[in-house]
Amino acid sequence: MEKFFGIIRGTHLRRGSDRWVAGVCSGLAAQLGVSPTFARIVFLIFALFPGPAVAFYLWAWLVLPDASGKIILESWLAERPGT
């Protein structure tokens, strides 16, 4: 799992601090050089159509590091007994 999280950190994608929910849209907006509002609107439009938009958002929230480098899924896995 360490290799997986290292790859994720190597993408330089981060959840943003301008958060409404988990910071995924603001982090993607910062990486793409667009407004967080624009990224949120695009996400909401995609979420209206059947498809993986909500699943992608949840996945991104779990695996993208925040500004301090913390990855939620990595923390959860580290807290599991027997790991």
Round to whole Å and give the CA distance between 20 and 41.
12
Q: Where does the pLDDT of residue 83 fall: very low under 50, low under 70, confident under 90, or very high at 90 and above? A: low
Domain-wise residue ranges, the chain: 2-79
Whether the per-residue pLDDT at 69 is higher than 90: the answer is no
Confidence (pLDDT) at 34 = 92
pLDDT tens for residues 32-66? 899 989 989 998 888 887 777 788 888 888 998 88
What's the burial of 72, exposed, middle or buried (CB within 10 Å: 0-12/13-18/19+)? middle
Q: What pTM, to 2 d.p., does this model score?
A: 0.58
Give the residue with greater pLDDT, 39 vs 22. Answer: 39
